Homo-oligomer: A and B are copies of this chain.
């Protein structure tokens, strides 16, 4: 075990990363620096890094100007190579995961309630942000290493396929958290809108929680796969007659559609008091007040999950043998992977084998 000799050490080491140097050029290899391992820090050698839709948005500055050079990646699985002096819950050699957050204020109501994702002073994103109280940019998982505050590191159960674990850190927790928050379980009728990285995890979790699961998709070609993933029923959302058969049918709908969409066709399928939760679309969505009023329906949003809840989700996955369905790529294939992802041409998440970055 290597401990940092000086807890205040601010020395840093250059490491290899795949970064977008500016928004006009694709990702390419870079030398970036990592901060030294402080007393509460953990250094992880990254084994696998999932590719999230938000990576491409930020690599291309589509969510406002990004901080370049930008190292994307917030679905990180690896092995601990160093721990700070004050770290007691982890040791060198442990498997560890890092998701969308690497820090938060840790003293607001949200943080104290274990919901760091809603930190009132804004959580520190794993990449495209700045280290807390510093002008040092954070860098994500398309890299050989990461150094993270131990409060934002989770343990990876050892019975799961690590490649499929990486996407759990964002796609997994993003769909697990709302299902748990709204107490979905046996006896509930749940629909999942969209069958992509998030949607396929939503199916698995809703099914494992005991719900009766329906998938809404526009693709006839996805019907069989949705059933293989656990759906009891698949409805082609562009088929108006099929949609009529599920009027007022569901207690809960998880919309994983990552872009602006009209909620109207789905709201019609929610029963009295039913809840639709948006986890993908961060933009305007079509909503008619009358559809809510007539059946006391609700539309909410949900953002990833807290650190403790992420650990709970991983333990749930270990118990139910749940991982993401992934397609492995080398780091050098990332630009092609982005293009394919934008066409929904992936079943259901790209995961980068970070060994490819060292070769």
Instruction: List the interface of chain A (C-beta within 8 A of B).
Output: 109-110, 115, 118, 120, 181, 248, 260, 272, 275, 278-303
For A279, A280, A295, A297, the residue with the greatest tally of chain B CB atoms inside 10 Å of its CB is: A295
13 CB-based A-B contacts, threshold 8 Å: A115-B272, A118-B272, A120-B272, A289-B301, A291-B301, A292-B301, A293-B301, A293-B303, A296-B301, A296-B302, A298-B298, A298-B299, A299-B300
Report Cα–Cα, A149/B37, bound state, in Å: 76
Report Cα–Cα, A110/B118, bound state, in Å: 35
A248-B120, A296-B302, A301-B297 known; A281-B272 Cβ under 8 A: no
Please give me the residue from chain B that is nearest to A302 by CB atom: B296
Q: Are A286 and B289 in contact (CB under 8 A)?
A: no
Given A118-B294, A294-B303, 4 other A-B contacts at CB below 8 A?
A275-B298, A289-B301, A293-B301, A296-B302
Main secondary structure, interface of A, reads mixed
Residue of B248, B288, B294, B302 near A285 (CB, 8 A) is B288
Report Cα–Cα, A152/B215, bound state, in Å: 40
Q: Are B296 and A181 in contact (CB under 8 A)?
A: yes
Please give me the residue from chain B that is nearest to A285 by CB atom: B289
Report Cα–Cα, A287/B285, bound state, in Å: 6
Q: In angstroms, how far is the closest chain B Cβ from the Cβ of A257?
A: 9
Please give me the residue from chain B that is nearest to A263 by CB atom: B287
Closest 10 CB pairs of A and B: A292-B301, A293-B301, A282-B290, A298-B300, A281-B289, A287-B287, A278-B289, A118-B272, A293-B303, A285-B289
Residue of B181, B288, B297 near A300 (CB, 8 A) is B297
Please give me the residue from chain B that is nearest to A174 by CB atom: B293
A295-B118, A298-B300, A300-B298 known; A283-B290 Cβ under 8 A: yes
Report Cα–Cα, A260/B286, bound state, in Å: 12
A272-B110, A292-B278 known; A284-B284 Cβ under 8 A: no
Report Cα–Cα, A175/B299, bound state, in Å: 19
Please give me the residue from chain B that is nearest to A279 by CB atom: B293
Residues in B neighbouring A303, C-beta threshold 8 A: 293-296
Q: Are A299 and B292 in contact (CB under 8 A)?
A: yes
Residues in B neighbouring A118, C-beta threshold 8 A: 272, 294-296
Q: In angstroms, how far is the closest chain B Cβ from the Cβ of A167?
A: 19
Report Cα–Cα, A280/B290, bound state, in Å: 9
Residue of B109, B284, B291 near A289 (CB, 8 A) is B284
Residues in B neighbouring A301, C-beta threshold 8 A: 289-297
Please give me the residue from chain B that is nearest to A281 by CB atom: B289
Please give me the residue from chain B that is nearest to A113 by CB atom: B272
